[in-house]
Chains A and B, each alone.
Chain A
Amino acid sequence: MLIEIKSLSKNYVMGEVEVPALIDINVHIKQNEYVAIMGPSGSGKSTFMNILGCLDTPTTGQYIFNKTDVSSLSDDALSAMRNKEIGFIFQNFNLLPRLNALQNVELPLVYSGIKSEERRERALRALDRVGLSDRIHHKSSEMSGGQRQRVAIARALVTNPGILLADEPTGALDSKTGDEIMVLFDELHREGNTIILITHEQEIANYAHRTIHIKDGMIHSDKANSPR
């Protein structure tokens, strides 16, 4: 089992009241699964994604990633988890505007202390994988949305993470480019990657093989998609 989530809850303190964002979540995700997490805004799906991505920690319950209990990790260890095990793909790409594509993709490797030649080599390979070999010296302002998202995917892939965590990856793209990106995810899944996709669009969720609906901080449904 890659991910085990056991009776996980998350409360936010707003002034003097505690507001529950997630209530008693239990989820298991296996290696090479392709899961879509759906839910309306305010449902708690972003909080769930932040906890899965080690950007946030649960209030109670357990999050076990690859036999490591993430809930008990220090800040530095969480940074290392994000660096090595999690590949983030964001709706608004979140590339560093001053860096070119190659430098953006190299960045996670910089933080894992990998020497520059190896960094460059691996970054080039990742960019090649997403079909951007001819754009490596372009800054994000010089690229289209689809190209930016490909750079972001290359950045997520470059560390060979345990999971790819995509938060509305097509939300800022037109439908044609969005479809292209989803095709790329399909390919990545076939190559053995575990993908967790967060979306509120049914069409996008249909690409995944399993859909978890979250509503009011609780799992509303969790079922396999009918194969396309």
Chain B
Amino acid sequence: MEYQENIRLAIRGLIDHKFRSFLTMLGIIFGVASVITMLSIGEGAKRQAIAKYQDLGVNNIIVREKKLSDEELEEVRAKFSPGLSLLDASVIKEIVPGVIRTASQSEINSEAKYTDKSVKSTIIGITPDYAEMLNYKTAKGNFITDDHNKRALKVCVLGAGVANTLFRNEDPIGKMIKVEDQWLEVVGVLKSKTLFTETVGELAARDLNTDVYVPLATFLSRFSHENILTSQIQQITIQVESSNRLEEDSKLIDGILKRHHFNNEDYNIVVPYELLQQEEKERQIYNFLLGAIAAISLLVGGIGIMNIMLATVMERTREIGIRRAIGARKSDIMSQFVTEAVAISITGGIIGVILGVSLSLTVSLFTDITTYIQPYSIFIAFGFSVLVGISFGYLPAKNAANLKPIDSIRYE
């Protein structure tokens, strides 16, 4: 018997028993839909995390001043630690192998003013490398240059948010803004950055779009408060040549800083890549759980198919007997019933894929959960449903094939 005949037969069977077929499929439909939805939620979370860490640079090690109270700071200073300094940065660059470059940054929280408008912002002194290391792109004008820094020019680059607030309908380039008691010329505006909504390691969540960047030299001469408790710089970003240097180098850096700061731990070392991996590991457990739930629902769907199929075989004993009497082999009956189970699970699978895709689109549309449907997840879910059909259709089909023709033809 040709397989086309079986397929035709199976499809006819589905159409003849629409409601029963639908009920049988229900388990598969929900199973497949939940596999796709859950995988898309997991994948969405992963992509969001990667994007977040990419902003910090996956080959970067970030050394950041620890937030300490004034009393604690006094104690640290009394123990001879000067806090993070440019010297730390240049020593790291000299000594630690595999370091490509370092960028130091110094910051104060202040306000940026233009005409009668003002906006709270973080003023950050940086070196030109910074843009490249952290993947900053300008929307207008240019980033801080070496020349700006060498000559300690009074120029600045605005975060997208600052530019929007101060220069609603104007081109900011070439305009002068006032920070503290200094006038700065705007030379560039950054593209909008994704918001940090959560803390990354020891890095506090903040909105990068409210930053104002100035050359480090300018910052140190114009904005530094002559206060013993304030460190010279607040952060050193260190780029290494590849991610497998990260672990070793961050240990080395920790050793150097400990020595320079006389064992005062007034800094934190953050390795975004390691945090990413750690987060990934945690998410793996979560994803595994989601996957297990989805797999269980598929399994239940399969049992549903088996249940109905077993009942169908009983109900169709007479039909099987007739088919056997006119020449159907055991294998013909077997493949007829397996094909039927597979047809049910494929149809259920297709409906499940459609439901799953729409469900995950709905989730990302109406909640803050980001979802991403990977094409392979559709194939996995679909393939799994076919597998369920075959394996759970097997037993009923075997029962059907093993019925004795003489008994079954007389079955009422």
Contacts and interface: CB of A to CB of B under 8 A. Distances in A.
Interface of A: 50, 53, 55-56, 75-76, 79-80, 82-84, 88, 90, 94-96, 98, 107-108, 110-113, 155, 159
Prevailing SS type, chain B contact patch: helix
Contact of B325 (A53, A80, A84, A113): A53
Contacts of B409: 55, 90, 94
Given A110-B5, A111-B1, A113-B2, A88 B12 contact: no
Nearest to A93: B322
Nearest to A95: B322
B161 interface: no
Contacts of B406: 50, 55-56
Contacts, number: 62
Interface of B: 1-2, 5, 12, 16, 318-319, 321-332, 405-406, 409
Given A96-B322, A111-B1, A75 B330 contact: yes
A79 B16 contact: no
A76 B325 contact: no
Contacts of B322: 94-96
Nearest to B318: A94
B16 to A, nearest CB: 6
B327 A80 contact: yes
Contact of A111 (B319, B321, B332, B405): B332
Contacts of B1: 110-111, 113
A34 B332 CA distance: 33
Contacts of A110: 1-2, 5
Contact of B326 (A75, A76, A107): A107
B87 to A, nearest CB: 89
Contacts of A98: 12, 16
Given A96-B319, A111-B1, A82 B16 contact: no
Contact of A79 (B5, B12, B327): B327
A83 B406 CA distance: 15
Given A98-B16, A113-B1, A108 B326 contact: yes
A111 B327 contact: yes
Given A94-B321, A94-B322, A155-B326, 20 more contacts: A50-B406, A75-B330, A76-B330, A79-B328, A79-B332, A82-B325, A82-B326, A84-B327, A88-B326, A94-B318, A94-B325, A95-B322, A107-B326, A108-B327, A110-B1, A110-B2, A111-B1, A111-B328, A111-B329, A159-B327
The 4 nearest A-B residue pairs measured at CB: A83-B327, A111-B327, A79-B329, A108-B326
A107 B409 CA distance: 16
A83 B326 contact: yes
8 contacts: A76-B329, A76-B331, A80-B329, A82-B326, A82-B327, A94-B322, A108-B326, A111-B323
A49 to B, nearest CB: 10
Given A55-B409, A111-B1, A79 B319 contact: no
A101 to B, nearest CB: 15
Contacts of B323: 96, 107, 111
B213 to A, nearest CB: 77
B402 to A, nearest CB: 10
B330 A79 contact: yes
B10 to A, nearest CB: 13
A90 B318 CA distance: 13
Given A55-B406, A55-B409, A98-B16, A112 B327 contact: yes
Contacts of B324: 55, 79, 82
Nearest to B16: A98
A120 B328 CA distance: 18
A50 B324 CA distance: 13
B329 A75 contact: yes
A94 B1 CA distance: 21
A128 B12 CA distance: 27
Contacts of B319: 96
A111 B330 contact: no
A88 B325 contact: yes
Nearest to B409: A94
Contacts of B2: 110, 113
Contacts of B331: 76
A83 B405 CA distance: 13
A112 B324 CA distance: 12
